Chains A and B, each alone.
Chain A
Amino acid sequence: MSTLLRMIPSVLMIVSPILITAIGGMICEKSGVVNIALEGLMGLGACAAASAHVLMEATGMGTPSVWLALAIGAGVGLVFSIIHAVAAINFNADQTISGTGINLLADGVTIFVAQILFSADRTREFRMGMQTDKLGIYPTAYIALVVVILAWFVLYKLPFGMHLRACGEHPQAADSVGINVRKIRYIAVLTSGLLAGLAGGCIVLTQTIQYTSNTINGRGFIALAAVSFGRWRPVGVTFAAFLFGTAQAFSIIAVNFPALKALPTEVFNILPYVITLIALVLFSGKNFAPRANGQPFIKGAS
């Protein structure tokens, strides 16, 4: 039991960024835009945060550097998500293609920047990452909590949230009552970019000491899985992120459990993906996704 208790901080550390990204992805899909670029946006945010932190740490600015780096990571995620917003919202582009494009672009841009700044295929190591509090919990867990509550409140308690959900269900109807569908979708896509970038920063500042091409390693896609496994609801997505994050955590800490030692750690890595697949099959027929998810909104067309 005490082993389980001692696991909680590391589980939270792994769950938080996945949860933050998944909430962003959920908001984006609620507005009717699919964002498979989450993976790439996380990478861009992580790389930006790591680079910024290394450079600012060298100037001796201390703790504020971590927070500034986190903000920079979020900002970079937001900036790159503009590409997706323009393609999906203004140009009615295929959202899967533009998402794939950003993912490919992120692979290049992140390491390219590292090559230019640090002459290596990774960012230089920083000395001090984010610090835990008295309970051994990283602040990222509280950030994730705030993000979830805020998202729930805005989506379900404010008129804006209702408008946003309407854009994802029936944009034409939303348009007919004077809701600016494009503006709302823009806000949703940029929010998902911001949160993915923020989550990337959280990963790099809590779990490692530098950004490499393996830092994100599919977490953006796990977040995407959490969105559909969580049925596009804040509570469901939170539950899914916890489930998947715990599975991830187990791949690292399974060695503490004699019963699990015999299993290859990869088994835990596979779990989120397999669970999502099974869930999708089991819930088939009942479609929980926003109805206009992934469809471009063409004004005037019915």
Chain B
Amino acid sequence: MKTLKKKESFASRLLSSDGAVSILVVIMGFLVGTVLVALVGRNPLNMYKAILQSLTGYNIDNGKMNVRYIGETLNYTVPFVLCGLSMAFAARAGLFNIGGEGQYIVGLTVAQVIALLGPQVKGLHWILAILGAIIIGALWGGVVGLLKAKFEVSEVVSTIMLNYVALYLSRIVCLQLPGATTYKTANYPETALLNNALFQKLTNNSMLNNGFFLMVISLIVYWFIMEKTNLGFGLRATGFNKEAARCSGIPVVKSISISMAIAGAFAGLAGGIVALGSFRYGRVLAGMDNYGFNGIAVALVGNNTAIGTMLAGFLFGMLKNAQALMQGKQIPKEITFIIQGLIVVFIALRSAIALYLDWLNKRQLQKEVISK
């Protein structure tokens, strides 16, 4: 009897730990993905070979090592982490930011504009472009917060609308840039690029760039605001219980606007870094890059914490980098999208765990009452 009770409490303890559940969810996502690959007659082992190579640079088939893959994985990680922070920051204040994509796009667009038209001063040019991306992202997100706080417009609906407004506005603007064709603009001047000679040397000419530092700084800023400042406390309080926060004198309207603005700033920064770090020319977007949407998944897996978001972002970066390798091994690269989608679906289903624990508690209580 006693051992049974212990077992139950272990299971319930495991299931009440957010971190453990996240890991479980990721494993389940991979498991279903693996089964799917096997079902369509491809070898799932190849998928894991590709992932291993994007993670360590080691090609298991020919025993060769290429550190460039590590650099690329880290480079892909940057926008995922930043868009994850964007979603997470809003989520902590009780908001659902599906607008990461739009904030990312406006950031990308402004960075491209400043890169092509801004003053070509060494050391200043790219900083200006990145700052522009952050500011426009903050404005784009802040509008949503304002609409929510002042007019009670659901942030879910308004962010979805603004994503597409951003996409088409971006096209209108970028088509006017110097040297614009239907899909790209002229090359950037050297001064706008984010590349880092040391990183390039270390990682065999990968695209890894100064954006990586900006990501690390962002993570620290996120952690600091959330855990160490009054602002963060107010935001979290608003997220837990809006009415209680209002009653204890926390300016809820301001909290909502500020949190959406900061969320937008993170996503805008991601756009700026991708624009200047991963490309040497401006892009005229035909569709979405989906970093913003995947940021939702990143934040959900990371439970809205800085560390969790970093790890989840790395996982997604690794998958993204593995895509080309998978395609070369007869695994459709879309399996990574499927795994990411499955992870989010499973996270939605994790509310079942709460129901299960509830039921478990009730049963135990019942037993105790009966035995008395």
Is chain B found bound to chain A in the same assembly? yes
Interface residues of A in 177-209 (CB under 8 A from B): none
Name the residue on A nearest B288 (C-beta).
A218
A111 touches B158 (CB 8 A): no
Which residues in A have their C-beta under 8 angstroms from that of B355? 91-92
User: CA–CA, A93 to B296, complex, Å?
Assistant: 16
User: CA–CA, A112 to B47, complex, Å?
Assistant: 14
The answer to whether residues A281 and B153 also contact, given A116-B332, A270-B165 and a CB cut-off of 8 A, is: yes
Instruction: Kindly specify which of A102-110, A138-146, A148-156 makes contact with the partner chain.
Output: A102-110
Which residues in B have their C-beta under 8 angstroms from that of A116? 40, 332
B158 touches A105 (CB 8 A): no
Interface residues of B in 136-182 (CB under 8 A from A): 147, 150-154, 156-158, 160-165, 168-169, 171-172, 175
Name the residue on A nearest B347 (C-beta).
A97
Chain B's nearest CB lies how many Å from the CB of A292? 15
Which residues in B have their C-beta under 8 angstroms from that of A98? 344-345, 348-349
User: CA–CA, A94 to B294, complex, Å?
Assistant: 17
A266 touches B169 (CB 8 A): yes
Number of residues in B with C-beta < 8 Å to the partner? 54
B337 touches A108 (CB 8 A): yes
* Interface flag for A253 (CB, 8 Å): no
Name the residue on A nearest B335 (C-beta).
A112
A97 touches B294 (CB 8 A): no
A281 touches B151 (CB 8 A): yes
A92 touches B351 (CB 8 A): yes
* Interface flag for B290 (CB, 8 Å): yes
A277 touches B168 (CB 8 A): no
B157 touches A224 (CB 8 A): yes
Name the residue on A nearest B36 (C-beta).
A112
User: CA–CA, A107 to B344, complex, Å?
Assistant: 13
Which residues in A have their C-beta under 8 angstroms from that of B168? 266-267, 269-270
User: CA–CA, A96 to B155, complex, Å?
Assistant: 11
User: CA–CA, A52 to B36, complex, Å?
Assistant: 20
Name the residue on A nearest B346 (C-beta).
A101
Partner of B341, one of A91, A104, A274, A280: A104
A107 touches B164 (CB 8 A): no
Interface size class of A (residues with CB under 8 A): 35 or more
Name the residue on A nearest B176 (C-beta).
A264
User: CA–CA, A274 to B168, complex, Å?
Assistant: 11
B165 touches A284 (CB 8 A): no
* Interface flag for A65 (CB, 8 Å): no
A280 touches B347 (CB 8 A): no
Interface residues of B in 315-346 (CB under 8 A from A): 332, 334-346
User: CA–CA, A106 to B344, complex, Å?
Assistant: 12
A273 touches B344 (CB 8 A): no
* Interface flag for A18 (CB, 8 Å): no
User: CA–CA, A91 to B359, complex, Å?
Assistant: 13
B161 touches A277 (CB 8 A): yes
Which residues in A have their C-beta under 8 angstroms from that of B98? 36, 96, 100
Q: What per-residue 1/0 map shows which CB atoms of A243-270 lie under 8 Å from chain B?
A: 0000000000000000000001011011
User: CA–CA, A116 to B345, complex, Å?
Assistant: 23
Interface residues of B in 162-211 (CB under 8 A from A): 162-165, 168-169, 171-172, 175
Chain B's nearest CB lies how many Å from the CB of A296? 8
Chain A's nearest CB lies how many Å from the CB of B296? 5
* Interface flag for A173 (CB, 8 Å): no
User: CA–CA, A217 to B341, complex, Å?
Assistant: 18
User: CA–CA, A111 to B164, complex, Å?
Assistant: 22
Partner of A273, one of B154, B164, B296: B164
Interface residues of A in 68-120 (CB under 8 A from B): 83, 86-87, 90-94, 96-98, 100-109, 111-112, 115-116
* Interface flag for B286 (CB, 8 Å): yes
A87 touches B348 (CB 8 A): yes
User: CA–CA, A101 to B347, complex, Å?
Assistant: 9
* Interface flag for A228 (CB, 8 Å): yes
Name the residue on A nearest B157 (C-beta).
A228
A264 touches B175 (CB 8 A): yes
Partner of A285, one of B152, B161, B343: B152
* Interface flag for B297 (CB, 8 Å): yes
User: CA–CA, A218 to B286, complex, Å?
Assistant: 12
Partner of B157, one of A92, A274, A276: A276
The answer to whether residues A108 and B338 also contact, given A214-B286, A224-B160 and a CB cut-off of 8 A, is: yes
User: CA–CA, A102 to B351, complex, Å?
Assistant: 16
B152 touches A284 (CB 8 A): yes
Partner of B153, one of A93, A102, A284: A284
The residue in A96, A101, A221, A224 that gathers the most chain B C-beta atoms within 10 A of its C-beta is A101
Can you give 5 contacting A-B residue pairs, CB < 8 Å? A93-B349, A214-B286, A274-B161, A276-B157, A281-B147
Binding site for A on B (CB under 8 A): 36, 40, 96, 98, 147, 150-154, 156-158, 160-165, 168-169, 171-172, 175, 286-287, 290, 293-294, 296-297, 300, 332, 334-352, 354-355
- 7 closest residue pairs by CB, A with B: A105-B341, A108-B337, A101-B344, A98-B348, A115-B332, A108-B338, A284-B151
Given contacts A97-B344, A270-B165, list 19 more A-B pairs with CB under 8 A. A93-B350, A93-B351, A97-B347, A101-B341, A101-B342, A101-B344, A104-B293, A105-B345, A107-B341, A108-B336, A108-B340, A109-B341, A111-B334, A221-B160, A224-B160, A273-B162, A280-B147, A280-B151, A281-B147
